[in-house]
């Protein structure tokens, strides 16, 4: 299952996917899309060869709303999490399979909860890089393994994956 479907089903999260490879959005268009959708959180997925684009995407998000949390997942984030968290504008890195981890993280962010016990994330705290280890694989998760969102929330997923993968490539997937 991809992250968008998981967030919609288990967290009643409204998810919009903005695939910049298909849309061809430049910075102005991307900022306009972010402004129009007004997401509470933005997730980005990137392969390593696409990682240079991550900083300008995060910059676009922060220019529209500096308080919007930006999550980075995907193969680059999983392979190089300590490097990925240092990309300007990235607030959290989701490592490994991201469905459960991203769901828990997004819910905590929307509810202003503590994220320190969520497995599978890397983030900065007072100039230190904090890594919580590997997350829970969706294949290993049993019933009740996730927290349920108490209110509907909005997430914007910016997909950098090649067109052939855009339907299944979600933040934190590998």
* Domains of the chain: total: 1
pLDDT 10s digits, 33-52: 899 989 999 999 888 888 88
Bridge partners (DSSP) of residue 92 are 71, 123
Please say whether the beta carbons of 94 and 103 come within 8 A: no
Q: Which residues contact 128 (CB under 8 A, 6 or more apart)?
A: none
Is 171 a member of any domain?
no
Is 170 a member of any domain?
no
Q: Which two tokens stand for residue 95?
A: 């490592």
Please say whether the beta carbons of 135 and 100 come within 8 A: yes
The pLDDT of residue 5? 87
Sign of CA dihedral 58, 61, 67, 70: negative
Residue 120, pLDDT > 70, answer yes
Bridge partners (DSSP) of residue 125 are 128
Rounded CA separation 38/41 (Å): 9
pLDDT 10s digits, 3-15: 888 888 888 888 8
Residue 171, pLDDT > 50, answer no
Is 71 a member of any domain?
yes
Is 9 a member of any domain?
yes
Q: What is the mean pLDDT of residues 98-123?
A: 93
Average pLDDT for the chain? 78
The pLDDT of residue 12? 83
pLDDT 10s digits, 136-150: 655 444 434 334 443
| Confidence bin at 81 (pLDDT 50/70/90) | very high
Rg, the chain, Cα only: 14
Percentage of the residues of the chain whose pLDDT score is greater than 70: 73
Phi and psi at residue 121, to the nearest 5°: -125, 155
- Angle, nearest 10°, between helix axes 3-11 and 99-110? 50
Is 174 a member of any domain?
no
- Per the structure, the complete domain to which residue 12 belongs is given by 3-140+149-162
CATH number of the domain residue 114 falls in: 3.40.50
């Amino acid at each position: 299952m991809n992250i968008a479907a998981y967030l919609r089903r288990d967290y009643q999260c409204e998810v919009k996917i903005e695939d910049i490879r298909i849309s061809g959005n430049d910075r102005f268009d991307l900022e306009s899309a972010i402004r129009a959708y007004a997401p509470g959180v933005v997730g980005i997925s990137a392969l390593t060869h696409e990682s240079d684009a991550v900083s300008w995407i995060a910059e676009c998000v922060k220019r529209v709303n500096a308080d919007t949390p930006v999550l980075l997942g995907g193969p680059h984030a999983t392979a190089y999490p300590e490097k990925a968290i240092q990309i300007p504008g990235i607030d959290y890195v989701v490592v490994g399979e991201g469905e459960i981890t991203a769901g828990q993280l997004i819910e905590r962010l929307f509810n202003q909860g503590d994220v320190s016990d969520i497995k599978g994330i890397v983030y900065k705290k007072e100039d230190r890089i904090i890594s919580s280890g590997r997350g829970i694989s969706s294949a290993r998760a049993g019933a009740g393994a996730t927290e349920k969102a108490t209110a509907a929330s909005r997430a914007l997923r910016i997909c950098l994956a090649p067109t052939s993968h855009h339907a299944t490539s979600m933040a934190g997937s590998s």
